Structure 1
Amino acid sequence: SGDFARDLGPYWFKNGESQWFHAYNRNKKSLTLDLRCDEGRGVFLDILKTADVVVSNLRGDVPEKLGLTFEHLKATNPKIVCAHLSAYGREGPRASWPGFDYLMQAETGYFSLTGDPDHEPTRFGLSVVDQMTGLALAYAALCGVTRARASGEGGDLDVSLFDVALSNLGYPAMWYLNNGYVQKRLARSAHPSLTPCQLYKTADGWIYLMCNKEKFWPALVNAIDHPEWADDPRFKTFKERFDARSEIQDMLDTALSAKTTAEWLIDFAGTVPASPIMDVGEAMENPFVKDEGRLQDIELEGHGTYRYLRPPVQAEVPAPANPAPKLGEHTDDLLGDIGYDADRLEALRKGKVI
């Protein structure tokens, strides 16, 4: 049946395919193969001969059982890089544990850092650990390939959801480990070290200011017609402004309430780091998204055209714009590339190997 996400709703295209699945699997190819039988294992090893990387996204104890480690594969391809993504790693007491993004956020402190101080523990609005771990695995695999090409020897690389979540704690972890300080959630999504860097009230809602360089404080106070605050000894430095966070919040709330968020964004453009607060729909309708080519149209058989976000990396050669593949859509092409003819493919299909 393939990836469970193929059946994940609640939104579907006209041909019955999951929009959730398409969001994460565009421009990929799909091959079906039963690794549990000897013939399927043989096909896998044939593919392996010309491969650079084998990527697995499995429970930590499964790669060894399926023979996906370097020890199992090096005889076929000594340069192969085996990049393993798991919940808690392939070794240790949790190697056999299943695990998912929100569990990692909960256990590594993210729930205690996200949201309002008076609310219940809160996760990120997106599966940020999943996405960070995928990126970590990608650059780990590229590093592994670079090393293998230089040395002639591949190896195993391990990236776990838990380790990536933990490593991205950054300075809150540093503060606790060296000073015993436990960072908590701050009202208005404030920065724990800098002010002004939080939500402020405007005439019609909110605006986020992020004056994280000294030059932006005078730029801000001049833009809001309070130039006298630039030389006020209470607010001269980062430290003094941080100590006066509450007072500055009240002052800026009052000053910014004179205009709407949109009006302030015009005044601040290019001089004061500021952003409106948008929901997802507003973000997609943002002219900076729509008018600057950040959306792309993709043709999907049985549905027509659907729209999604352009890849964030821009290069001279445009990125392809292909929909997520149907299950096994490229099996014949990929196996044909390594010399399998039509008769061989038909035999494998009859034996339910592919």
Structure 2
Amino acid sequence: KGPAFARRGITDEVLWQHNPKLVIAHLSGFGQYGTEEYTNLPAYNTIAQAFSGYLIQNGDVDQPMPAFPYTADYFSGLTATTAALAALHKVRETGKGESIDIAMYEVMLRMGQYFMMDYFNGGEMCPRMSKGKDPYYAGCGLYKCADGYIVMELVGITQIEECFKDIGLAHLLSTPEIPEGTQLIHRIECPYGPLVEEKLDAWLAAHTIAEVKERFAELNIACAKVLTVPELESNPQYVARESITQWQTMDGRTCKGPNIMPKFKNNPGQIWRGMPSHGMDTAAILKNIGYSENDIQELVSKGLAKVED
């Protein structure tokens, strides 16, 4: 919720009195200021998606739906992190701290801007996809093969030419509707868009994923199998890059999950311990910034801090 710390008297100015170089990142659903109707409302992932125009663009043609898992939470966390790091870099130059106001809905507004710009500057709103296919371009999106699903992007002059030969549409090349040099097939503006989809669906349904990947690799058409979660850790690319790893939890159990990304060459990241328990590091952090044992206990007694039992 909005200015939660300021309501308790902990304003930016109070904090800067103690440390003028402090970088403060406020993360809330609707921001630190605005209208009372929204600023103090609680918010979670789906709330931010709905209020930002991001949710209405996702889902199927018949119904919008939020993007999971918890997209707005993750994007907002990344935004807060990068903003704080940028501010810390600036503090080194100026010696002056910063306060950053991150509204989750504005993060998602930015993430969903691609199609919105057409509406804001021309009144055109992109339709939602149908069965996972790109709302604008034929040959782009989710498709079903004989033994599972792939995603593909039919983009490029030679890619379209060679693909059309395979699916029996070579006679449409170099026509007024699909002139020489065409790099994308618009499924709405091109009168042959529906036919391209029909022929492509039939061709893909008659071939296995392995066959499609092999042929598309020859044609330099971007595609990928839609992997199931159990397939991830045995995939050769995952194995080669150690994309899935394991570590020890604080109570001695083995935990498996995604490895650190991105990968730094000279100073690689590392998992140096498991996730701390609630309050495990509180006392150490507070002591490091000057709090005494009595100060910490006072915060705990007031319910303002949690330390490990």
Q: Larger relative contact order (C-alpha < 8 A, sep ≥ 6)?
A: 1
1:225 to partner: Cα distance = 7.2
Q: How many residues align?
A: 291
Segments of structure 2 that go 5 or more residues without pairing to the other structure are: 302-306
* 1:195/1:69 CA distance change after superposition, 3 Å: farther
In the alignment, the residues of structure 2 paired with residue 259 and residue 206 of structure 1 have an alpha-carbon distance, to the nearest angstrom, of 11
Matches within 5 A, 1:1-40: none
**Residue of structure 2 in register with 1:110 after alignment:** 54
In the alignment, the residues of structure 1 paired with residue 156 and residue 194 of structure 2 have an alpha-carbon distance, to the nearest angstrom, of 19
* 1:151/1:219 CA distance change after superposition, 3 Å: farther
* 1:275/1:240 CA distance change after superposition, 3 Å: closer
Q: Is the 8 A contact 1:70 1:80 kept in 2?
A: no
**Residue of structure 1 in register with 2:100 after alignment:** 157
**Residue of structure 1 in register with 2:31 after alignment:** 89
The DSSP-based 3-state class of the residue aligned with 1:129 is helix
TM-score of the aligned structures, taking structure 1 as reference length: 0.73
1:266 to 180, 201, 214: 214
Q: CA deviation digits over 1:196-239, x for unaligned, max 9? A: 212233222332211234443235446x4769368442434146
Matches within 5 A, 1:199-210: 199-210=142-153
**Residue of structure 1 in register with 2:136 after alignment:** 193
1:306 to 232, 251, 255: 255
Amino acid at match of 1:250: E
Q: Is the 8 A contact 1:117 1:187 kept in 2?
A: yes
CA-based RMSD: 2.8
Q: Is the 8 A contact 1:208 1:277 kept in 2?
A: yes
**Residue of structure 2 in register with 1:278 after alignment:** 227
**Residue of structure 2 in register with 1:330 after alignment:** 281
The DSSP-based 3-state class of the residue aligned with 1:179 is coil
In the alignment, the residues of structure 1 paired with residue 231 and residue 80 of structure 2 have an alpha-carbon distance, to the nearest angstrom, of 32
1:79 to 1, 16, 21: 21
Amino acid at match of 1:331: T
**Residue of structure 1 in register with 2:304 after alignment:** none
**Residue of structure 1 in register with 2:269 after alignment:** 319
| Residues 1:62 and 2:4 are matched in the alignment | yes
* 1:283/1:229 CA distance change after superposition, 3 Å: farther
Q: Is the 8 A contact 2:58 2:128 kept in 1?
A: yes
2:90 to 141, 147, 151: 147
* 1:68/1:256 CA distance change after superposition, 3 Å: same
Q: Is the 8 A contact 1:67 1:73 kept in 2?
A: no
1:101 to 24, 37, 45: 45
In the alignment, the residues of structure 2 paired with residue 278 and residue 122 of structure 1 have an alpha-carbon distance, to the nearest angstrom, of 22
In the alignment, the residues of structure 2 paired with residue 87 and residue 97 of structure 1 have an alpha-carbon distance, to the nearest angstrom, of 8
Of all paired residues, the percent bearing the same amino acid is 25
The DSSP-based 3-state class of the residue aligned with 1:78 is coil
In the alignment, the residues of structure 2 paired with residue 156 and residue 330 of structure 1 have an alpha-carbon distance, to the nearest angstrom, of 24
The DSSP-based 3-state class of the residue aligned with 1:91 is coil
Segments of structure 1 that go 5 or more residues without pairing to the other structure are: 1-58
In the alignment, the residues of structure 2 paired with residue 230 and residue 302 of structure 1 have an alpha-carbon distance, to the nearest angstrom, of 65
1:293 to partner: Cα distance = 0.6
Q: CA deviation digits over 1:247-270, x for unaligned, max 9? A: 111111222233101221133237
Q: Please identify, of 301-310 and 232-241, the stretch whose mean Cα deviation from structure 2 is larger.
A: 232-241
